[in-house]
Amino acid sequence: MCLVIVESGRKAGERTAGVKPQYVGCAGRVTNAVNFVNATYSTARGHALIASRLWVPDEHLADPATRDMMGLPDALEPATEPQLGAQMLAETLDAGIEVPWVAADEGLRPGPGAAGPVRGTRRRLRARGGPLKGDRRYAWA
């Protein structure tokens, strides 16, 4: 059993919530796109998407006119993609779902000050490796 947390982008229009010019692998270039962080529960018998969060750029949340045009709720607060992944992991654990392992995209690696134990657990994400492009090893401790 494993919780897999990955980001995924898809092309979008100019007024779609969270859209901005960015590199999207499915398009193979920079284009107007949105990014999601998805959590999939995987077992030997199959997998299921159990959570998904739209990443919204800070500049969209800071501008009331953009919030209104995109239909973003006032309660929506800025969050990085790693923070969205951590939120989904915490919600999964809170729901009583057993998560012995977590796998995630390198892009979802917490930045400085973002690493730490998941609420209610003794788990901590550890990363080892060189610069952004290079060998990396991650493990839960």
Whole-model pTM above 0.85? no
In the chain, % of residues over pLDDT 90: 26
**How many whole angstroms separate alpha carbon 14 and alpha carbon 58?**
16
For residues 99 and 128, the model is more confident at: 99
Residue 106 in tokens? 């390198």
What's the mean per-residue pLDDT of the chain?
A: 78
Q: Which of 19-28, 79-88, 104-113, 128-137 has the lowest mean pLDDT?
A: 128-137
**Bridge partner residues of 60 (DSSP):** none
